[in-house]
Amino acid sequence: MNTCPHEEVLHAYTEGWLDAESQQAIEAHLTVCHECQRRVAGWQAVSEAIRGLPRIPAPGGTLQPMPTPHHEWRLVLALSACLAGIAAWLWLAGVSPPELNHFVGWTPYSTLSESAQQAAEKLQPFWHTLREVLKWKA
Amino acid sequence: MSDAQLVQRCLQGDTTAFDTLVERYRDRVFSLAFRILGDPTWAEDLTQEAFLRAYTRLALYDATKPFSTWLLCLAARLCLNARRDRQQEQAQLERASKAMPSPPTVEEYLYERERQRTLQRLLMRLPRTQRVALLLYYYEQMPLSAIAEALHVPEGTVKTWLYRGRESLRRWIEEELG
Ligand SMILES: [Zn+2]
């Protein structure tokens, strides 16, 4: 091989990713091409240096204990209770069942009746908190 | 006790088994996160998040593969996608400006530590994808297939990231040497 291989191919050679024939061809080229030799040596030095980076001890005692499965059940119960509470509250506020769709995002706000709009506004912070909790769990 | 046995125990409801896994891998996860993110406080948050996520998804872990690969890939993916809000960004800038590195002493310059610092600084100049690929492949010595799977890209893409990252670092170091 007289011309230099494409750089990405030369790089693949250093990792042994090529087939045997190509590996040999590049090896032969390297014996006569200083430019490619220099490149290969540089890459090898870089990967050696990354390999040699030391591990850093994690700051002590900062990891919080994991929630136990027991807690998970409690969370599910708490969320269910919240949802039941919201449903009851909407019912009492006089929001009709089709309008409930708004609260899961299927109905635009402007199509709600006035009482439902008021209910929706009051529920905003609560809804936000619930979503944060769910996001945190996910 | 092996990692697989600890995972098994954990799935059976023994929560202390997971603490053992955390003890075993926290330094490794933290180091990887720090090398990717370049900020110890951020890395600490991500380490916590990685273990929490591993814990809640333990049932998805495929026991035929090493637990370390699964955990570190999960952590790397979190780091790759990690975004900070403005407030956190500001806090880090302030910390960084307060902790301006003092000029290295002669000893430091001559020794390993300064070279390691330089390398970490140059790593931070790379696109995050290239940095993650380089660290998983050379620092954690993970197989290409595991990296590709973890980052949801074909193996060819990982190879290209490794090539570009390594080439940029080589060039920058040459430039620094003048
Ligand atoms: Zn050549």
Q: pLDDT for B45-62, tens place per residue?
A: 999 999 999 999 999 999
Rounded Cα distance between B37 and B44, Å, is 10
Q: Average the pLDDT over each of A103-107, B12-16, B148-152, B173-177 and give the range with the smallest value.
A: A103-107
The pLDDT, as a whole number, for residue B57 is 93
Residue B159 has a pLDDT of: 98
Report the number of secondary-structure helices (H) and strands (E) in chain A.
6, 0
Residue type, A120: A
Predicted structure pTM score: 0.71
Residue of B nearest to A48 (CA): B138
Is a pLDDT exceeding 70 seen at residue A137? no
- Measured between CA atoms, how close is B52 to chain A, in angstroms? 7
- pLDDT at residue B131, as a whole number: 97
Residue A49, chain B, CB below 8 Å: the answer is: yes
Convert the pLDDT of each residue in A11-52 to its tens digit.
999 999 999 999 999 999 999 999 999 999 999 999 999 999
Contact of A11 with B166, CB cutoff 8 Å: yes
> B34–A56: do the CB atoms touch at under 8 Å?
yes
> What's the confidence (pLDDT) of residue B106?
64
**Residues 5-24 (A) with a CB less than 8 A from some CB of B:** 7-8, 11-12, 15, 17
Asked if the Cβ–Cβ distance from A55 to B27 is below 8 Å, we say yes
ipTM: 0.85
Least confident of A102-116, B81-95, B157-171: A102-116
d(CA B147, CA B162): 11
Q: What is the mean pLDDT of chain A?
A: 77
Average the pLDDT over B145-158 and give the result. Answer: 96
Q: DSSP for B102-117, please give it.
A: PPPPHHHHHSHHHHHH
Q: How many angstroms separate the CA of residue A14 from the nearest CA in chain B?
A: 10
Residue A138 has pLDDT above 50, yes or no: no
Are A47 and B159 within 8 A, CB to CB? no
Domains, chain B: 3-99 (1.10.1740.10), 106-177 (1.10.10.10)
Of A91-95, B24-28, B35-39, the one with minimum mean pLDDT is: A91-95
Cα–Cα dist B170/A69, whole Å: 49
Give burial (CB, 10 Å; 0-12/13-18/19+) of A3. Answer: exposed
Burial of residue B30, with CB atoms counted within 10 A of its CB: 0-12 exposed, 13-18 middle, 19 or more buried? buried
Cβ–Cβ pairs < 8 A, chains A and B: 89
Please tell me which residue of chain A has the smallest CA distance to B170: A42
